[in-house]
Structure 1
């Protein structure tokens, strides 16, 4: 059996859909090509010389933002089983389709993204008393991994609380231990120690706009120049978080303290578009759109303080080697009250 086939079989059981509990398989666009680029000598050479360069993403973007690319929309919708309603809209290019804006409703965990579910959740919060628990929402649609951050700033798998013998162990991939310091290119801030790290992996069919996860204010931002490697699993995507182009935002959430929100650029993603003006502090509401990505798969990393409690099922799935498929705007945790 070939390596590519083995990789495909491994991916079949690597994602769990949160709202149904089903194990699912999502076919990645260009999966064979990505595997070649990262696992063969010639592929790695082409990657270094051409495909990971910003000019390649720029040139590719010229086509996908032109009217010539409109013909790509219908096959894409069909291939990934997206809503046929999208075909009724007159997008001027595939790029416009990709970065389209849709309604986002804040709602309880696992609920469909509908206004009705959002209104029902608001009523539920009023009944429980919003002041007691501030909901923390998924900033994007995609596949989620959830880790703990230890007191030294290392990223770790949380121990099983039901088994007193188990201990947390660090995230290690191909001999590399991953830490907050590598992602930020700076020491881990004290407010993150003992907190949580969330990784939202957005593949091509996912909605590529993202929101603020709770009410608060944007204190400052920082841009880090870097490469444009793939963020897919077969490309050792954790390495990309410490080497790729990225934008870091320091947010202070009401009742939850400070968090760091990081957008990571990826191969074939030329731009990260954030709406917030350079006027700090910038105040925002829960669910307000923060920005969007142009073309390609992308990733968002959020680093949270210990004042935010993330739902246990997300940690459990990560410990099992499963990414959790969820949708933008669904509740994934609470602020400690």
Structure 2
């Protein structure tokens, strides 16, 4: 059972996990682990499933999926019968009025919908994946020079479950750089997998870029692919001015993760998020929601 913290109601709730039994089997049993390493983590498996999710036939899954996981379709720009495939639904856009952006320049917002962890004063060689498992930023981005800039800084990890809105956004105005691509595997980013695969984020396909933020210094943006994620698609234009809340990109089908690194003494994450992160619980957040403030 995966528990997440509801910031609004100050309570914990059980996460409805798509394919829960399947995940527990492939990452928890000897046979399942062997199949994962032989087939499921491979690019071909996710690519083939991604191709299916682009077909019209896959759209027949949408209605049952939304009902099973209580997905609110009243906030989407398209009506449920207007989606042409499951990926069309999965990459759905929302009506902006349901995700208002806090434009106070001193307020740090969530880059998307999902479950959030945060860590401050990070050790670049021992960033927490889960209790007992760590990874290094240098391994994550394969760039030691850039990694050193974030010594003693803060990182936030936003996990997007398959049921979430799967577009990610800029947390401030500024100028983004081009994206760097790193090939890798396609492990799930669900906590079930994070507890069993060492350095999972460093194993998976990923992209990273530097965002020259107007108010929070240079932010390192990292997007992590996962099982059945057909693509990480960047929709922004590099080296041009963007506004706070503008879309940066989106994931095709599958759970995915966005990680942001901030330099030392730039931001202060909200106390409830830091406290829950220490306890090992993710906080449910939405795009545009306040998650921290600028350090003056």
TM over 0.5: yes
Q: 2:140 aligns with which of 173, 179, 183?
A: 183
The equivalent residue for 2:63 is 74
Q: For residues 26-64 of structure 1, give each alpha carbon's deviation from its aligned partner in whole angstroms, at most 9, with x where no partner exists.
A: 121111111111122211121122111111112112221
Contact 1:260 1:304 in 2 (8 A): yes
Q: Deviations over 1:85-137 (max 9, x none)?
A: 365441111110001111345xxxxxxx355xx5xx56xx5xxxxxxx52211
Which residue number corresponds to residue 150 of structure 2?
192
Distance across 2 between alignment mates of 1:209 and 1:17: 21
Q: Which residue of 1 aligns with 2:116?
A: 144
SS at match of 2:25: helix
How many residues align structurally? Answer: 289
State the partner residue of 1:288: 246
Whole-Å separation in 2 of the counterparts to 1:89 and 1:137: 32
Task: Judge which range, 295-304 or 83-92, deviates more.
Answer: 83-92
**Aligned match of 2:21:** 32
Name the counterpart of 1:214. Answer: 172
- Native 8 Å contact 2:49 2:230 kept in 1: no
| Partner SS, residue 182 of structure 1 | helix
Gaps of 5+ in 2: none
CA–CA distance in structure 1, aligned partners of residues 184 and 235 of structure 2: 21
Q: Tell me how far apart the structure 2 counterparts of residues 318 and 190 of structure 1 sit (CA, whole Å).
A: 24
The correspondence for 2:230, drawn from 270, 280, 283, is 270
1:103 to 87, 95, 99: 95
Residue 63 (structure 1) aligned with residue 61 (structure 2): no
TM-score where L is the length of structure 2: 0.90
Alpha-carbon distance, 1:271 to partner:
0.3
Aligned 8 A contact 1:147 1:155 in 2: no
* 1:310 maps onto 2:269 in alignment: yes
Summarize the Cα distance change of 1:173–1:285 in structure 2 as closer, same or farther, 3 Å threshold: closer
Aligned-pair Cα RMSD in Å:
2.1
Q: Identify if the C-alpha distance between structure 1 residues 134 and 146 changes in structure 2 by more than 3 Å, giving closer, same or farther.
A: same
The aligned residue for residue 278 of structure 2 is 319
Q: Secondary structure of the residue that 1:189 maps to in structure 2?
A: helix
Assess if the C-alpha contact under 8 Å between 2:172 and 2:215 holds in 1: no
In 1, the alpha carbon distance for the partners of 2:133 and 2:116 equals: 21
SS of the residue 1:183 aligns to:
helix
The alpha carbon displacement at 1:155 in A equals 4.5
Aligned residues of 1:226 and 1:245 also touching (Cα < 8 A): yes
Cα deviation for residue 65 of structure 1 reads 1.1
SS at match of 1:68: helix
1:49 aligns with 2:7: no
Counterpart-to-counterpart distance in 2, 1:175 and 1:335 = 31
**What SS does the corresponding residue of 1:220 show, helix, strand or coil?**
coil
* TM-score (ref. length: structure 1): 0.80
- The structure with the largest alpha-carbon Rg is 1
